Structure 1
């Protein structure tokens, strides 16, 4: 009995550890339509479609959080209602969930960011080896609440960010992006070119009417007219590569 209990606990711990630290080891059978979700303020509800590309049924648990990835479904307290919060998707089939705004008071001069979570729980067959490892895979997408009447448009917002190279107190440099728009801007690629050197800054996001700093590892100096190569992400996916001058 104790041996069985120990094995069960070990299996659960290993599953959790694998899920938290090595998510790339687990391939999700269910895909979510789109790379982000936008909820227009005037919408009474929106639908999110999921497709099971696998060969077995999948059970999906859906919840939303405000930015803390450790938020659990039972303590999620956000501005949306999901129907249904748990859904079964048969193999090679799709299923939709509805998202409805509760009317919570949110800023009307800028977007508000939430996160849409979809936990895929794999099925367990009766003849499955008891020693096999079952891994629940979570997909997490940005969910933007977008008020009506915001100035400009989300698609052009990434091109309006002002970039500056700023020295730090420790002797290094950071790239500071100043977002003057009411939209969240997201980049899948940021690459700084200056003095014949290239610095890969990875990806990132800047909140509306805010600034964000990106560490420039290895930079000792820079020349005037540095160039930033960036690839923005929009409501429709990854955009075309672009270039701008850094001040």
Structure 2
């Protein structure tokens, strides 16, 4: 079944109503898949009383769905009310980088049942969950992933009147920020807008500094999200912008 067809069905349901809820959700907020494992299960739960279809697919960080080194099954699944389902993710070990993590997006689109004739005033939203899939090659020790944020090196760059904070990540892990804030004096911290962009393994990433902080001595506060969706230790460092 084509995703465009399922989206059209979801939109038709969306136009029906006055009451909204999401029914199907993944049990975890992120997935960690090891190439050494035969497969990685992804558990999904339907919290409603109704039977739902779900459609699932993978993309890389640029939105490409083709020729990925992962296999996800089934692409379409039916889950009865108050029941759980399981997706299966298989890594193709020879096709992933062998010295660092890879990251992909997993989308899970719920397709609600068609409204009954006596439910004309009911709206059931078709919710899409999107979560990161971290893929680790054989030999990469996952126990060290949460400490990767401690290895970040921070520098200030100036370019065309703009100020940037550059995070250099010397580790083989992606770093997903929990906090990324600047604070000057006694003011509350200001979250950097681009904090959702991850420093890639063995690479650097720049973060734009708000103009109100230019020329000031500030405190940079940051943390990462660990494999279980929790926050790592919060770190602080002084920076002159």
Q: Which residue is 2:4 aligned to?
A: none
Matched, 1:217 2:207: no
Question: Structure 2: 5+ residue runs without aligned partners?
Answer: 1-6
What secondary structure sits across from 1:43 in the alignment?
coil
Measure how far apart 1:166 and its partner are: 2.0
Compute the TM-score of the two structures, normalised by the length of structure 2.
0.80
Alignment partners' CA distance in 1, 2:112 and 2:202:
42
User: Equivalents in 2 of 1:84, 1:107: separation in Å?
Assistant: 25
CA shift for structure 1 position 135: 4.0
Alpha-carbon offset, residue 153 of structure 1: 1.4
Instruction: Write the deviation string for residues 182-201 of structure 1: whole angstroms up to 9, x where unpaired.
Output: 00000122111245554321
5 Å-filtered alignment, 1:139-150, equals 139-150=129-140
The correspondence for 1:99, drawn from 89, 104, 108, is: 89
Superposed CA RMSD in Å reads 2.9
1:148 deviates by 2.1
For the structure 1 residues 215 and 45, does the alpha-carbon distance in structure 2 shift closer, same or farther, using more than 3 Å as the test?
A: same
Q: How far does residue 42 in structure 1 lie from its aligned partner after superposition?
A: 0.6
Q: Cα–Cα, structure 1 residues 214 and 128, in superposed 2: closer, same or farther, change >3 Å? A: farther
Change in 2 beyond 3 A, CA 1:134/1:92: closer
- In the TM superposition, 1:18-167 aligns within 5 A as 27-69=21-63, 76-127=66-117, 135-150=125-140, 153-167=144-158
Report the TM-score when normalising by structure 1.
0.78
Q: 2:115, 2:122 within 8 Å by CA — same for their partners in 1?
A: no
Query: Matches of 1:104 and 1:78 in 2, distance apart?
Result: 12
| Larger relative contact order, structure 1 or 2 (CA cutoff 8 Å, min sep 6) | 2
Unaligned runs of 5+ in 1: 1-10, 19-24
- Aligned partner of 1:21 in structure 2 is none
The answer as to whether partners of 1:191 and 1:200 remain within 8 angstroms in 2 is: yes
Q: Can you list the C-alpha shifts for 1:164-218, whole angstroms capped at 9, x where unaligned?
A: 222221x231111111100000012211124555432143211111111111112
Answering whether residue 164 of structure 2 is matched by residue 174 of structure 1, we say yes
Residue 15 of structure 1 corresponds to: 11
1:7 alignment partner in structure 2:
none
Report the 3-state secondary structure (helix = DSSP H, G, I; strand = E; otherwise coil) of the residue aligned with 2:150.
helix
Contact 1:47 1:99 (8 Å CA) reproduced: yes
Verify: 1:238 aligned to 2:230, yes or no: yes
